[in-house]
Structure 1
Amino acid sequence: METSSNHEETQKSGWRKFLPYIGPGFLVSLAYLDPGNMETDLQAGANHGYELLWLVLIGLIFALIIQSLAANLGVTTGKHLSEVCEVEYPLFVKYCLWLLAEVAVIAADIPEVIGTAFALNILFNIPLWAGVLLTGFSTLLLLSLQRFGVRKLELLITILVFVMAGCFFAEMSYVNPPVSGVLKGNVCAQTGW
């Protein structure tokens, strides 16, 4: 009887260990759902049909590999990449890496802010300057949610991801793309591979 209850305890603790990772997983999933990626994919699809789907698939595979390597680093060392860099590199290299990271973040965020401002302009006829200010304000508002605990922020992001997924599947059911075209676009042989 005791072994049965111990097994149940182990199973519960296994789920309890797993559940805290769901929120961060949804936070990471935003990298694939951001407006810049979606807009680029949709525009490429509008111009080239299904011919470039293989490129999206290859990019997704490489991103999964990089995330797997980052997870392995975290599991084996107990530190994330910036902490490992801090320990391993000299001061000059650390400052260079920090500056490069800041430039990369700025370069990645500018199109997102401008894209959101254009989307607000198209949807609600809000001037671009006001759209940029609203985007910045919404970012600060989301960051301020961390005061109430990171789990609340994770819950909000999870809800937003499900809303985006629902909208995407609703659009896909409306468009109803041909399965043969989608499969043909994912074949790398079409591009000479």
Structure 2
Amino acid sequence: MRELFFLALAFARISLGSFAGGLSSIALIYHEIVLNYQWLTSGEFEQMISLAQMSPGPIAVNAATYVGKKLGGFPGAVIATVAIVATPLILLLILLLIIKILPIGQTTKQNAKLSLRPGVAALLTTSTLRLFSSTLNRPIYLLLAPLAFFLLLNTRINKRPSLGIITCGLLAALTAFFANIICR
């Protein structure tokens, strides 16, 4: 029961800081899940993010469901998912009530939006560096990334994202297979 409470608390905090979207939430998820609570290792986190990105739906919701299921089974998955979805909805309702009660001008609203930009930039940069640093441990991916980018720009693969995912997955599997043979 105690672990379910901390699971809800962790994902509520993640959702409150994820105002920039899915990619920015990766840094917050890493901080809470790997560093703060140590529910996952860095390797497990990378696998979870890969699964969350490939699954339909927002990354943070998929990650919450995954971690919740891993820690608390079905109840954990439900609690973590509800915490990450309900927290910003409740905050939004409170903000809407405040805006309705207090007369806030258009300039103030615009300034509030502009003040979020540095935080969004920091979260996106942190998430990008976190994902890129995991790539440095596997040099073959540094070779695959430009190849995938080239295929994306110079072929019609960008018209069918599923074909791009399958192609890159097959390239990664082939390179891992040949790397295994060469390293033996």
TM-score of the two chains, using structure 2 as the length reference: 0.31
- Between Structure 1 and Structure 2, whose CA radius of gyration is higher? 1
Structure of higher RCO (CA pairs closer than 8 Å, 6+ residues apart): 1
TM-score of the two chains, using structure 1 as the length reference: 0.30
